[in-house]
Amino acid sequence: MTSVQVVAAVAVLAVPFLGADRYLLKVLTFVGVNTLIVLGLALLFGYAGQVSLGHAAFFGIGAYTSAYLSSALGLPWLVAVAAAVGLTACAGWAVAVPGLRLKGHYLAMATLGFNEIMSVAFVEARRFTGGNDGLGGVPFPSIGPYELDTPASLYLLVWGVALVALVGAANIVKSRPGRAMRALHCTEPGASACGIDVSSVKVRAFTLSAALAGLAGSLYAHTVGFISPTTFGLDLSILLVAAVVLGGRESLAGPVVAMAALTLLQYLGALVPGLSRQAAEAVQDWVPDIVGLTVVGVLIARSRGFRLRGRRGVPERGGQG
């Protein structure tokens, strides 16, 4: 890691000790949860070039699995997390194997369909999900007698996991599997002529990406204690794709920063002191439009050869310079 990255990581983890209030910590914890999901999508979409408009559904599968196992069945937190990640990975694999035969718009439509199906399932499978009323009473994360029940400790848990995932993703993209993803994004025949099993790499990337969303879902459920279907709708999936588009191809930092900005935009009213209620509501109402217009603007600017940043989100230092 470079010194800049270390400083950034320390700064993120220092936030709870700087006297941030409970509400701000909660919002920033959501930013951490979304960071985890967008990391997975950045690998899948930004590196391997395979779009998914279904990541909110994987987020939901992780959240409901973890919530149900720990609140209804009373399983320990770590078991619930592991089961949530495992089940979401399986779901991701099950979507990827048939879905990745499709390309571009067709893959987008298939994953969008998956998100809609899961949205209905979260409402209709009342026995497990509580339907539209949601699922409450999800216990805080705990290991034995130790329970993380303060906003600060939950913040540190979520961001700790997110930072570990960020380092892991950065390691992946600079070695063999990362090169394979980038290669098949550029040209699939070229990649297979180098011995890359293109469909296998795609399925692995998709499964890993879904598993990260599932992990985020599990952390989210135990952080807020209550989940309901609207959180896991298409809106979030679109926001995630927008963040990766804004953040740039072959970048991790870009999508993470973009997703943080898009997440904070929704809480603008509460975060900016002195902003009138009407102004805050207006911004909230217009979030989808702001996002859409920004994406269009960025795409037009890029197509004219205008680049905001250098090529890499993760500078490679150390190793063989």
Partner 1 sequence: MSLLSVRGLDKRFGGVHAVRDLSFDVHPQTIKALIGPNGAGKSTVFNLLTGFERPDAGSATFEGIDLTGRPPHETVRMGLARTFQESRLFDTMTVEENVLVGMHLRLSASFGLAAIRSPRVRREEREAREEAAHVMRLVGIDRYRDTRASDLPHGVRRLVELARALATRPRLLMLDEPAAGLDGRETADLGEVLLRVRDAGTAILVVEHDMGLVMGISDEVVVVDQGRKIAEGPPLIIQKDPAVLEAYLGEVSDGA
Name the residues that contact partner 1, by CB under 8 A.
Answer: 168-169, 171-172, 175-180, 182-183, 185-187, 189-198, 204-205, 208, 249-250, 311, 319-320
Instruction: Name every residue whose Cβ is closer than 8 Å to that of residue 298 and which is 6 or more positions away in sequence.
Output: 245, 246
Query: For residues 39 and 236, which CB has a smaller minimum distance to partner 1 in the complex?
Result: 39
Query: For residues 42 and 180, which CB has a smaller minimum distance to partner 1 in the complex?
Result: 180
Other Cβ atoms closer than 10 A to 309: 11
Query: For residues 87 and 208, which CB has a smaller minimum distance to partner 1 in the complex?
Result: 208
Query: For residues 49 and 139, which CB has a smaller minimum distance to partner 1 in the complex?
Result: 49
Query: 135 forms bridges with which residues in the sheet?
Result: 227
Q: How far is the CB of 131 from partner 1 (least distance, A)?
A: 36
Report the distance separating Cα 2 and Cα 5, nearest Å. Answer: 5
Report the distance separating Cα 235 and Cα 158, nearest Å. Answer: 22
Provide the terminal-to-terminal Cα distance of the chain, rounded to the nearest Å.
13
Q: How far is the CB of 169 from partner 1 (least distance, A)?
A: 7
Q: How far is the CB of 20 from partner 1 (least distance, A)?
A: 30
Query: For residues 51 and 236, which CB has a smaller minimum distance to partner 1 in the complex?
Result: 51
Query: For residues 187 and 230, which CB has a smaller minimum distance to partner 1 in the complex?
Result: 187
Q: Is the dihedral of CA 99, 102, 188, 237 positive or negative?
A: negative
Query: For residues 179 and 302, which CB has a smaller minimum distance to partner 1 in the complex?
Result: 179
Report the distance separating Cα 215 and Cα 87, nearest Å. Answer: 10
CB-based contact 184:201 (threshold 8 Å): yes
Q: How far is the CB of 59 from partner 1 (least distance, A)?
A: 20
Q: How far is the CB of 73 from partner 1 (least distance, A)?
A: 29
Closest CA to 158 of 5, 12, 24: 12
What Cα–Cα distance (Å) separates residue 289 from each residue in 115, 227, 259, 302, 304?
A: 21, 26, 16, 20, 23
Closest CA to 155 of 88, 224, 215, 211: 224
Q: How far is the CB of 31 from partner 1 (least distance, A)?
A: 22
